[in-house]
Structure 1
Amino acid sequence: MTTAPRPPLPPFTRDSALEKVRLAEDGWNSRDADKVAMAYSLDTRWRNRAEFVHGRDEARAFLERKWSKELEYRLIKELWAFSESRIAVRYAYEWRDDSGNWFRSYGNENWEFDDDGLMRHRYSSINDLPIGEQERKFHWPLGRRPDDHPGLSDLGL
């Protein structure tokens, strides 16, 4: 099924919005474009930096390109605000390029969900900060961030 519901579903409460944010973080940290793309509606619309994505297939291709370039990708998302069908998050992720240069990317996203909990719209603004390897703060093994790892606010980010 290509449009299976993705709980938690709108309308969001604080707890369900927090859960949705953590599920999104976990998905993106998996770096599995096929799996992550299933969280988006078939007609999803994105703005990511200066790139515009139309539909789930383009989202999947975008993610494949992203994670082939952004190596050792580790992401933390934090709930900023929510309403019935919308969630705003702030996030940071660390990654390196194929030359060994490290970056911390900071961003904000606005999400809108359909009734099945699939993300219909995603608007993302991101800035990249070059960092030295010794400045990294995200040191867990690739994959899901451990529950006891500090979040953005705890890290002073």
Structure 2
Amino acid sequence: MTDARPPFPPFDLDGALAKVQAAEDAWNTRDPHRVALAYTPDSVWRNRDVFLTGRDEIVEFLTDKWARELDYVLRKSLWAFHGNRIAVRFQYEWHDAEGRWFRSYGNELWEFADNGLMSRREASINDVRIDAADRRYSGPRPQDERGPGHDIPPA
């Protein structure tokens, strides 16, 4: 398994939490190439109304996303897990080129291959306009806010 990414399924609580934190950390780099390496070469995505297959399409999608969603900052939270599947909920904040801020709320369903890479991702996301003063996040999650008990706040 040269393309392996532990922990491997089936997931226990620690493994599921580690996958969620690793995904949050990677997405907060806003590096499409780094993020895409967590997915199988033929990974299938549904992101809102966009359907993608494979790393090249993932990189293209994320490159476009982060060109529009400026100063993107993400928080993910484990919702449930079983076998090779994990469900998460998340919030991220960003602004557009005109300086309008948004908080995006969503849920993701993840399915993993035996090598620990994600083979399927389905995301449902809604955007809410916020004032800059209402922002919750200003950068990646601090070390002291990681792990169980540090859930994302409700809407």
Query: TM-score when scaled to structure 2?
Result: 0.93
- Are residues 1:25 and 2:21 paired? no
Q: SS in structure 2 opposite 1:63? A: helix
1:97 and 2:93 correspond = no
Hey, what's the Cα distance between the residues in 2 that align with 1:73 and 1:97? 10
Residue 149 of structure 1, CA deviation? 4.1
- The alpha carbon displacement at 1:139 in A equals 2.0
Counterpart-to-counterpart distance in 2, 1:106 and 1:9: 27
What CA distance in whole angstroms lies between the structure 1 residues aligned with 2:151 and 2:61?
A: 25
Secondary structure of the equivalent of 1:148?
helix
| Distance in 2, Cα, partners of 1:90 & 1:156 | 10
Measure how far apart 1:65 and its partner are. 0.6
Name the CA distance, whole Å, in 2 between partners of 1:25 and 1:137. Answer: 16
Pairing 1:117–2:113 present: no
- Are the aligned partners of 1:92 and 1:152 in contact in 2 as well (CA < 8 Å)? no
Q: 2:141 aligns with which of 138, 145, 148?
A: 145
Counterparts of 2:13 and 2:144 in 1: how far apart (Å)?
21
Q: Is there any run of 5+ residues in structure 1 with no aligned partner, and where? A: none
Is residue 36 from structure 1 mapped to residue 32 from structure 2 by the alignment?
Answer: no
Question: For the Cα contact (< 8 Å) 1:73–1:93, is it kept in 2?
Answer: yes
Aligned equivalents of 2:122, 2:115: Cα separation in 1? 19
Give the superposed CA RMSD.
Answer: 1.5
Letter paired with 2:12:
T
Q: Given the superposition, is the C-alpha separation of residues 156 and 148 from structure 1 closer, same or farther in structure 2, using an over 3 Å criterion?
A: farther
1:156 deviates by: 3.6
Structure 2: distance between partners of 1:31 and 1:108: 19
1:126 aligned counterpart, secondary structure: strand
CA distance in 1, matches of 2:30, 2:129: 22
Structure 2 residue runs without a partner (length 5+):
none
C-alpha distance in structure 1 between counterparts of 2:32 and 2:6, whole Å = 19
Task: Give me the whole-angstrom Cα distance separating, in 2, the residues matched to 1:147 and 1:82.
Answer: 23
Aligned length: 152
Is the 8 Å Cα contact of residues 91 and 152 (structure 1) preserved in structure 2?
Answer: no
Counterparts of 2:68 and 2:117, CA distance in 1: 26
> What residue number does 2:4 align with?
5
Aligned AA for 2:55? R
Measure how far apart 1:77 and its partner are: 0.1
